């Protein structure tokens, strides 16, 4: 079964939109495929309106262990060089390239630290 959140990720729509338009709390793969391939008018409209805009969801993936989750991007998130789970050691992440200095931004997604390597 697919949760509403997973369905929203797959359809690339906000969870609130899925809920408002009657996407059930759980659905089957076949039900989701049917909606995706033959979108109801609200979904077709949403897709038509979204051309060229920022993605609704981004996939966050840890550079160390490969843990991955979909998240709604936040305006304050920096352009990161790497993402790592908060519980990995500093030395598990690849070192910054020559001449770049590193800053870390906590609180991205449910468990990520954003690592930003930029010219000092």
Kindly state the smallest distance separating residue 71's Cβ from Zn ion, in Å: 15
Dihedrals phi, psi of 78, to nearest 5 degrees: -80, 170
Q: How far is the CB of 105 from Zn ion (least distance, A)?
A: 16
2: its two tokens: 């697919």
3-state secondary structure of 46: helix
Q: How far apart are CB 83 and Zn ion at their closest, in Å?
A: 8
Length of the chain: 120
Instruction: Give the per-residue contact string, 21-60, with Zn ion (x = CB under 5 A; - = no).
Output: ----------------------------------------
Residue recorded with tokens 């790497």: 82
Q: How many residues bind Zn ion (CB under 5 A)?
A: 5
x/- site string to Zn ion, residues 56 to 95, per CB under 5 A?
A: ------x-xx-x-----------------x----------
Residue entry with tokens 């089957």: 28
Which stretch of DSSP H or E encloses residue 120? none
């Amino acid at each position: 079964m697919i949760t509403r959140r997973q369905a929203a990720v797959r359809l690339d729509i906000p969870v609130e939109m899925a809920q408002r338009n009657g996407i059930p709390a759980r659905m089957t793969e076949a039900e989701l495929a049917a909606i995706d391939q033959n979108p109801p008018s609200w979904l077709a409209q949403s897709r038509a309106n979204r051309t060229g805009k920022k993605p609704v969801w981004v996939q966050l993936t840890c550079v160390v262990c490969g843990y991955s989750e979909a998240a709604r991007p936040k305006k304050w998130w920096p352009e990161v060089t790497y993402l790592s789970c908060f519980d990995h050691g500093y030395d598990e992440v690849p070192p910054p390239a020559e001449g770049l200095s590193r800053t870390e931004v906590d609180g991205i997604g449910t468990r990520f630290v954003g690592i930003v390597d930029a010219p000092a």
